[in-house]
Amino acid sequence: MVIATIEVTGDDSRPATDLGFLLHKHPDRVQTFPTTQGTATVFSSEATAQRCRVVLHVDGDGVRPDKSSGVSPYVNALAAEASSRFVVALGKVFGDTIAGRAAARPDLVGHVWDVVVTVAAVPLRSASTPAELFGPLGWDVGVRREQLSPVQWGESMHATITVRGRSTLRDALRQIAVLLPVLADDKHYFVADDEVDKLERLGDGWLGAHPCREAIVRGYLKWIRPLTEQATLRFGDAAAPDDDGARQYRAPLARQRRTAVRELIFRSGARSVLDVGCGEGKLLAGLVSDGFAGRLAGIDVSVAELNKATTRLARLRDVDLWQSSLMYTDSRCRGFDAVVLMEVIEHIDADRLAVAEFSVFETMAPRTVVVTTPNREHNAVFGLADDKLRHPDHRFEFSRAEFADWAARVAERYRYTVELGGVGEDVPAWGPPTQVAVFTRIDCGDKQ
């Protein structure tokens, strides 16, 4: 079993019990959650306006010695270690907090608290110490090792770590989620390129300037050189200077797009999502990493892409994947709360676009549809001639006015409202590189 506590101190502007809104856990209840590492129990050992302390207990029953788990049948401490297995449970229970979501009280996400986080049984296998990793982030770090018995064996390699400081809860949990596996110098699951994406999300705002950045990146990515090189470039080395001379990394547009779509999905309240044209499954993997607990599915016309998606998602959780097309009716695509068409419509011949519209908005009839597509006007920023499209497989690309007209016609025809937006740098006169439309069905109860 593993035990961790999160404690905040209230002030005149925020009672400490507001912690419950951030963690999405009522301070007066004991709640349990199934995780792959066993049952997680959450409760408040103290809940007053001055101080609130939340306890997370993971019983470790999911760490069983069998062939599929890779856990040795001999005596080991895996079930009681606060390493990557514990971080998986942490993400399952507090995923919304780590992602920076607090639907009932969004004002709390950026609130800076006096925070104390204590985690027991942290394995200290890394060459970097807790003080070297947490100290530069502004934390006062306490480390208590247990004495082994008999005494001549010395101290345990496991320690109870306590960090104290002022921080948002989101940043505190993100730093814990990254640095515990680094201290343990181990990850129990296969690490692929989507783990670089996760590190980028968790390390946003603090990892790039950390003096031990390279050691953290290497430890988090299990010393896999191609992945560590990717991550190193993302956290500052490939950044361009801003106007004031400061270096700031801008994520690739595809990653910005996936992040924006994930946020729109969570904001919609959808409990089931179908990704049309899912490709390698990066959006679906990101939703899993962000703690989406509902049903996920993806379709694509390419078997090769679906095979890649299957490999990517197999180690995360069950996601339905199948070959399909918007050009014909597929009953398996019905019944989802949200359908995503991310960079899809521009690959459809203009004279067949109406078929795809009917397939999504009439046959599938989800409550929410999220569509992204290139903004043709922004192509000038990329140095493309007026008659050139952004990708050789694109059949057309909408200007902003054309996209707005198309979205309005679709919304009116199929009884949806529509909200337009963009992703990426919004350049004066040319707009953002990606256009977004979020359709919400008016007659929500009629077709589900």
Query: Do both 166 and 119 map to the same domain?
Result: yes
Specify if 355 maps to a domain: yes
Number of domains making up the chain: 3
Query: What does the pLDDT read at residue 176?
Result: 92
How buried is 240 (Cβ within 10 angstroms: 0-12 exposed, 13-18 middle, 19+ buried)? Answer: exposed
Domain end point (choices 231, 250, 269): 250
Query: Do both 427 and 291 map to the same domain?
Result: yes
Nearest-CA neighbor of 237 among 259, 218, 209?
209
Tokens coding 27: 């301070």
Query: Do both 25 and 141 map to the same domain?
Result: yes
Query: What does the pLDDT read at residue 159?
Result: 86
Strand 140-147, strand 31-35: pairing: unpaired
Give the C-alpha separation, 170 to 434, whole Å: 28
For residue 337, the enclosing domain spans 253-441
Dmax (CA) for the chain in angstroms is 80
Residue pLDDT tens, the chain, 448 long: 678 999 999 987 889 999 999 898 888 889 998 887 778 899 999 999 999 999 998 886 655 554 444 544 544 455 566 667 788 888 888 988 988 888 888 888 888 999 999 998 888 888 889 999 999 999 999 998 877 777 767 777 788 999 999 999 999 999 999 999 899 887 666 676 778 888 888 888 888 888 898 889 888 888 787 788 777 766 654 333 333 333 334 567 888 899 999 999 999 999 999 999 999 999 998 898 888 889 999 999 999 999 989 988 876 778 999 999 999 889 999 999 999 999 999 999 999 999 999 999 999 999 999 999 999 999 888 888 888 898 888 999 999 999 999 999 999 999 999 999 999 889 999 999 999 999 999 975 444 4
What are the percentages of helix, strand and coil residues in the chain, rounded to 5?
A: 35, 25, 40
Specify if 19 maps to a domain: yes
What letter does residue 239 receive in the DSSP assignment?
Answer: P
CATH number, domain of 158, equals 3.30.1610.20
Query: Do both 288 and 208 map to the same domain?
Result: no
Specify if 448 maps to a domain: no
